[in-house]
Amino acid sequence: GNSVTQMEGPVTLSEEAFLTINCTYTATGYPSLFWYVQYPGEGLQLLLKATKADDKGSNKGFEATYRKETTSFHLEKGSVQVSDSAVYFCAPRRDSGTYKYIFGTGTRLKVLA
Amino acid sequence: EPEVTQTPSHQVTQMGQEVILRCVPISNHLYFYWYRQILGQKVEFLVSFYNNEISEKSEIFDDQFSVERPDGSNFTLKIRSTKLEDSAMYFCASSDVWPTYEQYFGPGTRLTVT
């Protein structure tokens, strides 16, 4: 079955620092890949996605590239802001049957001013 | 923009009591899901629902749990006899169909079992 491994948090960065959150997955077939973000006290919001190999998803300055050869989907942002403080979840989605997501453990990001 | 809504936002119940968590999915969506997140842990899939029946359920979704779409707009999760370990945030999600199958999540219901 599908599984996902995310880097352990918390990650603490200063404002304008470069962010990388690693995510690797195991899957049968070719899942679509998603990053979700959970701001304090809120639900899950889609941040970005990629549906096939070498696709790059991007949104709000965040990027992630679907790397089939390394089964990875690392999240990056060139310059983080305090408002990016949240928990980030990597989530492959099985693209058949029920299309359920498999969520990683989440990585908490704290950005200091 | 259409959104998934959930009620209540926070439910406190005593162990052994029944609870019903309610969700209103996006109106033209056909797939519905429940996930849960125990505090500090990952989000876990519970169940998916399509065409008025369960299409998949996880090991967590035992006989204490049930889902229903009673009136064509609401989607409910019932826990018959709550246990302390059912305390978690429960997220409802709905998705459209081909080609995206993208799931939209509600804000969650925090269930506290005392």
Structure tokens at B37: 């997140």
pLDDT, residue A36, reads 94
What pLDDT is attached to residue B99?
Answer: 63
Residue B57 touches chain A, beta carbons under 8 Å: no
Q: Could you tell me the two tokens for B28? A: 């033209």
Tokens 């080609």 belong to B99
Query: Residues of A at the B interface (Cβ-Cβ below 8 Å)?
Result: 36, 42-46, 49, 89, 91, 93, 95, 97-106
Region label for B7, one of left (φ > 0), alpha (ψ between -120 and 50) or beta (otherwise): beta
What's the CA gap between A94 and A105, in Å, rounded?
18
Please say whether the beta carbons of B81 and B64 come within 8 A.
Answer: yes
For residue A56, what pLDDT is reported? 97
pLDDT tens per residue across span A64-106: 999 999 999 999 999 999 999 999 999 998 777 667 888 888 9
pLDDT, tens only, B8-63: 999 999 999 999 999 999 988 989 999 999 988 889 999 999 989 999 999 999 99
Q: Quick check: A55 pLDDT over 90?
A: yes
What is the rounded distance in angstroms from the CA atom of residue A13 to the CA atom of residue A103? 24
B104 beta partners: B94
Q: How far apart are CA A108 and CA A30, in angstroms?
A: 27
pLDDT in tens, B74-99: 999 999 999 999 999 999 999 987 66
Nearest CA to B109 out of B8, B35, B36 is that of B8
- In 3D, which of B107, B6, B7, B38 has the Cα closest to residue A43? B107
Mutation target to probe the A interface, by most A beta carbons within 10 A, among B41, B105, B110 is B105
Contact between A104 and B107 using a beta-carbon 8 Å cutoff: no
A7-32 pLDDT, tens digit each: 888 999 999 999 999 999 988 777 89
Question: What's residue A1's pLDDT?
Answer: 64
Q: Token match 């989000």: residue?
A: B43
Residue B100 has pLDDT above 90, yes or no: no
Measured from the Cβ of residue B19, the count of other Cβ atoms closer than 10 Å reads 19
pLDDT band at A42; cut points 50, 70, 90: confident
Q: Which of B43, B56, B108 minimises the CB distance to A89?
A: B43
In angstroms, the CA A89 to CA A79 distance is 19
Give the Cα separation of B87 and B110 in Å (integer): 8
**B28 — phi, psi (to 5°)?**
-100, 10
Three-state DSSP at B63 gives coil
Q: Is the dihedral of CA A95, A25, A89, B33 positive or negative?
A: positive
Task: State whether B102 and A97 contact (CB < 8 Å).
Answer: no
B107/B94 Cα distance (integer angstroms): 12
CB B87 within 8 A of CB B111: yes
Distance to chain B for A113, nearest Cα, Å: 25
